[in-house]
Amino acid sequence: MQSYGTKIIDLAETNAKDIARQWAADVRKHKRTPTYHNIPEDEVIDQAIIFYMHFRQMFYTDKPYEAAKSFSVKYAEDRYKEKIPLQEALYALILIRRHLWLYAEFQATFITTLEQRQATESLNRTILMFDYVCYQVTERYQELMKAEVDSRLGIIKTLTMDHTEKGEKSFYKTGIIIVALIIAGALTYYYHAMLGTATLFTHLFYIPIILSAMWWRRGGVYISVFLALMLLLSHAIFLEGVPFTDDVVRSFMFVVIGAVMDRLMDGIRKVEGIYKQLTT
pLDDT digits (tens, 9 = 90+) for 112-123: 554 555 555 566
Residue 22 resides in a domain: yes
Q: Residue 217: what pLDDT?
A: 83
pLDDT score recorded for residue 110: 47
**Model pTM score:** 0.62
Instruction: Give the residue with greater pLDDT, 118 vs 274.
Output: 274
| Residue/partner pairs of 187-195 with CB below 8 Å, 24 or more apart | 188/230, 188/231, 188/234, 189/234, 189/238, 192/234, 192/235, 192/237, 192/238, 192/239, 193/234, 193/237, 193/238
Q: What is the total count of domains within the chain?
A: 2
Tell whether 145 and 189 lie within a shared domain: no
Residues 70 and 97 in one domain: yes
Specify the DSSP class assigned to residue 162: T
Residue at a domain's end among 89, 121, 149: 149
Question: Per DSSP, which regions of the chain are E strands?
Answer: none
Residue 104 has pLDDT above 90, yes or no: no
Distance CA 71, CA 56 (A): 12
Same domain, 144 and 192: no
Over residues 79-108, mean pLDDT: 85
112 and 171 in a single domain? The answer is: no
Q: Are residues 142 and 7 in the same domain?
A: yes
8 A C-beta contact, residue 133 and residue 68: yes
Examine the domain organization and report whether 175 and 116 are in the same domain.
Answer: no
- The per-residue pLDDT for range 168-202, each reduced to its tens digit, is 667 788 899 999 999 999 988 888 888 887 676 77
Residues 6+ apart with CB under 8 A from 262: 213, 217, 218, 219, 220, 221
C-alpha–C-alpha distance, residues 7 and 51, integer Å: 17
Mean pLDDT of 269-277: 72
Domain extent at residue 189: 160-279
User: Apex CA 232: angle with CA 228 and CA 234, to 5°?
Assistant: 115
Whether 268 and 166 map to the same domain: the answer is: yes
Mean pLDDT over 147-164 rounds to: 67
Domain boundary, last residue among 127, 149, 171: 149
Do 142 and 246 have their domain in common?
no
- Residues 124 and 136: their CA atoms lie apart, in Å, by 18
In a domain, 96, yes or no: yes
Task: Say whether both 84 and 51 belong to one domain.
Answer: yes
Q: Is the pLDDT of residue 44 over 90?
A: yes
Residue 164 and residue 145 share a domain: no
- CATH number for 130: 1.10.490.70
Q: Which of 149, 169, 202 is the last residue of a domain?
A: 149
Residues 45 and 80 in one domain: yes
Residue 181 covered by a domain = yes
Co-location of 180 and 76 in the same domain:
no
Q: Is residue 246 part of a domain?
A: yes
Q: What is the pLDDT of residues 5-25, one digit of tens each?
A: 566 777 777 888 998 999 999
